[in-house]
Structure 1
Amino acid sequence: MGGLGAALADLVLPRTCAGCGVPGPALCRRCAALLGAPREATPRRLPPGMPPTVAAGAYAGPVRPAVAAFKEHGRAELVGPLGAALGRAVGVHAVLLPGRPVLLVPLPPTRAALRARGRDCVRELAAAAADDLRAAGVPAGCVRLLTRTGRVRDSAGLSVAQRRANLAGTFAVRPVRLPTGAVLVVVDDVVTSGATLTEAAAALAATRPDGDTPVLAAVVAATPRPGPRPVRAAPPGCFPDGSPRASRESR
């Protein structure tokens, strides 16, 4: 009956890929492949103290609408493929620290985001990622260690230093007893400047002064760094800046 219901639902509301819009699963194979090659996330201006961060893919192309569909448009079925992508990113850390328990620490949402969406999207992704990691034999879990302590103003238009100052003291750490030798991995859906991850990691590290509990980070996608500006060929008789060659040579 469940399969019949899903088939009837597809007739009324055909499923499409949240990334490219083609009919089919929530995230088609081609779009999912864009989240299949984890890489280091390196913001253009790396914040001091940013934890080593792995992203499953770039926040560009079809990945952008897929993440937005999950967070902003209620497509909860994307928790599977996006959670699996996050699990692959966390798995890079697990491979480098074999045998140690890996605890995924989701960044808590702001009150405004929780009211608007009605759900904790990052926590859902973290739980799905931990499930995938355990299925692959990695001792992983999801733990709510972080809470938000106050209101933060909109960070749009702020520099990296201003973002960090804006976030200072934002996170508090719950007094939870951790397994011996645990590795903490702060997780989020997207990293842009790295300021939020850096502040969260600093809050966690401050409660582990012995340094025995590494604090790392992983995300579904990272905003790609802008590449060098392309050099355009100058018109005949002109320098690369477009000024006439004759006028500059006569100076």
Structure 2
Amino acid sequence: MTTAPTAPAPVSPPTTAWRDALTAVVALLLPVVCVGCGTPDRALCRGCHTLLRELPGRTRLVAGVRLDAAFEYEGTVRTLLLEWKLRGRSDVVGPLTARTGALVRAALAAAPGAVVVRVPPSRRGARRRGFDPVVSVLRRAGLRRTPALRRLPVHPTAADPADVVAARAGGGQKERTALERVAATVGSLSAAALADGLRGRDVVLVDDVVTTGVTMAEAVRAVRAVGGRPVRCVAVASVEV
């Protein structure tokens, strides 16, 4: 009786084989688990990579401008972003920055000659993290030097209603209601230093996470105030509202 030949075992491409070997060595020295599902030995396992590729993006309007978000801010995406922003885990966000960078490139293709402008992090967030996540996103898009809007202190005045005074006087955005966020954000961003480069030009605004949209709306207002034309907003993730 003739025995059917046994199919040879699949051979991993050299690059994958080297990467797997390196991962195994690192895991012996610095044991890690997947941020997404807890699988040992990888900061982000292949299964979670696949899951991220299959997740849909999100499109919404902010101040009348189209916002393209690479992901919905939930589940594994939320976990990865928190690990990145709170613990500096840049090793787990490659899929997030890659897709967001592609959205930036698509926005520029749709508006040739547009200027990319970063929405700056809050002063508190910048001090805590020591880096700007949007810079990493733009590097994935091939943009290494992009201007940012300027954050301005917004102080309560005697003419402000009591709720506006309370909103502007204390607490971070997470502790505020939606109305308090609006009150605390209006007038907090300026494009005055970029006026000469933005006046009469299309502008693509980029941020990391858009929640209520009030910060992005303030960025749109600031650009319009100096004669720029916001044509697209891009974010890593957006909260469904």
TM-score > 0.5 by shorter chain: yes
Greater mean deviation of Cα atoms: 24-33 or 63-72 = 24-33
Superposition map of 1:102-251 within 5 A: 102-128=114-140, 130-131=141-142, 142-150=145-153, 153=170, 154-173=172-191, 174-175=193-194, 177-178=196-197, 183-208=202-227, 213-225=229-241
**C-alpha contact 2:73 2:238 (8 A) present in aligned 1:** yes
Question: Which runs of 4 or more aligned residues in structure 1 lie more than 4 Å from their structure 2 counterparts after TM superposition?
Answer: 2-7, 179-182
* TM-score after normalising by structure 2: 0.70
Pair 180,26 (structure 1): closer, same or farther in 2 beyond 3 Å: farther
CA 34–113 in structure 1, closer or farther in 2 if over 3 Å, else same: farther
The range that moved more, 150-159 or 58-67, is 150-159
Greater shift, 165-174 or 64-73, is seen at 165-174
- Shift in Å, 1:73: 1.4
Provide the C-alpha distance between the structure 2 equivalents of 1:197 and 1:86, rounded to a whole number of angstroms: 16
**Number of residue pairs matched by the alignment:** 204
Which amino acid in the other structure matches residue 31 of structure 1? L
Q: Is the CA contact (8 Å cut-off) linking 2:198 and 2:226 kept in structure 1?
A: no
Deviation at 1:86, TM superposition (A): 1.1
Q: In structure 2, what is the equivalent of residue 26 of structure 1?
A: 44
What residue in structure 1 maps to residue 89 of structure 2? 75
Task: Give CA-to-partner distance per residue, 1:5-56, whole Å, 9 cap, x none.
Answer: 7653332224443322324353632332255x333136xxxx6x25311111
Q: Give SS of 1:184's match.
A: strand
| Aligned mates of 2:25, 2:77 — CA distance in 1 | 28
Give 1:107 deviation, angstroms. Answer: 1.7
**Structure 1: where are the runs of 5+ without partners?**
132-139, 226-251
Distance in 2 (alpha carbons) for counterparts of 1:194 and 1:162: 13
- Work out the percentage of aligned pairs sharing the same amino acid: 30
The answer to which structure has the higher helix fraction is: 2
Distance 1:102 1:32 in 2: 29
Q: Any stretches of 5+ residues in structure 2 without a counterpart?
A: 1-17, 155-167
RMSD: 3.1
Provide Cα deviations, 1:127-154, integer angstroms capped at 9, x if missing partner: 22x22xxxxxxxx665123011116642
Q: Deviations over 1:86-120 (max 9, x none)?
A: 1233345345x25x034432221222212211212
TM-aligned CA distance change 1:141 to 1:205, over 3 Å? farther
Equivalents in 1 of 2:38, 2:236: separation in Å?
20
Query: Does the 8 A contact of 1:172 with 1:203 survive in 2?
Result: yes
Which amino acid is the alignment partner of residue 92 of structure 2? L
CA distance in 1, matches of 2:197, 2:70: 26
> Using a 3 Å threshold, how does the CA distance of structure 1 residues 5 and 57 change in structure 2: closer, same or farther?
closer
Q: 2:146 is aligned with what amino acid? A: V
Partner Cα distance (1:115, 1:62) in 2: 26
Alignment of 1:8 with 2:28, yes or no, is no
Q: In the TM superposition, what is the alpha-carbon distance from 1:65 to its structure 2 partner?
A: 0.5
**Residues 1:59 and 2:59 are matched in the alignment:** no
Asked if the contact 2:58–2:70 (Cα under 8 Å) also holds between the matched residues in 1, the reply is yes
Equivalent residue of 1:190, what SS? strand
